[in-house]
Structure 1
């Protein structure tokens, strides 16, 4: 699985991912999620849809979203890009959000699948910034007219779930505890624990481990850094905790995941 967070070095990330399951998170980039095969349950803000092949989810900047693959064989293309690559669309992406961010295959112009495929191929070859920007803007030019947009409100960003996702996305690489998160957000530990249980559907420790493991997955798939470096960069305090969490979530070792992920990307 490949994960994307608030703090990223790359202006553009394009990958084909298998069995993508990722908890609630957000980031200031645009994200396009295009299903290639199988089905994935996608939640954006408070809306959830099960998307099949040829369907697209459009996640505007700073919108809470999550993924749950319906099977490990599900494949999807992910494009995550800085607003600098979106040209004249950046103001729209910052100030508005889609009432319904999900588009079925029949609503998509063929240019969208073409642009996503070309972006993935371009990034594998190093990526020309001007070409990638043009492809992102082509996809947006075809997608945005199909969406009903609502203007963002200040209250959208005052919800505790938004604050949790924002804070953890920014600080998951640091030592982080439920008590520290409660202090940072100005709420009680008990109330925060209740929010994780009732609204997020998992404990704080599971949520944090999921984000860290998926950060590691992105680094394993997209870099040649050592497992030791990746474990530390993803926020794990020890190799033992990293391997335990990784095995529980992915069902394989980090090196096995790297071999499979890089082999998959080379074929697509």
Structure 2
């Protein structure tokens, strides 16, 4: 089952607490990246065929490809804090921060044991993100983003040391290709754009860069282009009084029905409802 994630803030980060069921539910996957912190209780966390015991203080890394689900102990149900975020957020800042999430599931341990040096480094940043998004004090968006970058930077330093030279070289190469492609997309998404043309410009194989882009970001190329267009449209809807149709075409959509459909699928409401929720009237 693939979950569609929407974000509750203008920045693509969610923080939420969750208590898993005491029976094993069907696993799911989502395009966003995720880090879970077991706050209380006990249970298990399943990643494909892998199973980890969960105890207070334990952390779990979730990428955009691996099917996963948590389960609570019936006698001592677990409760988690999850930080869920869009890979595009890191891609725009420092693509290398995506390396810890570019793992191949069969050779990767998703479990960071509570009380370990790495867990002690990560936990305060997890709690800081959740607090910023909950309290919404002045500057909370940049503070939450900064805390996420600190968190992922520490993950990068840890996992980089565990890779072989060949693994590191292959992963860095993929991330650099994705970075180059993403940079061109960000320059041109408001106009007609195709993967074939950009790959040819970069001297890359379409199939290779398409696969690397999906594995690194969790997005198909076309979905990423739509995401950038929707993000631009959200900024225009919230910050200007331009007509919705004008915004749609200005942001790269070729038809209004497509814009309305993609906007509602991505944001969870219509463009007009979103504008109203931001306090802007027609």
TM-score (normalizing by structure 1):
0.47
TM-score (normalizing by structure 2):
0.45
Using CA pairs under 8 Å that are at least 6 residues apart, name the structure with larger relative contact order, 1 or 2: 1
Which structure has the larger Rg? 2
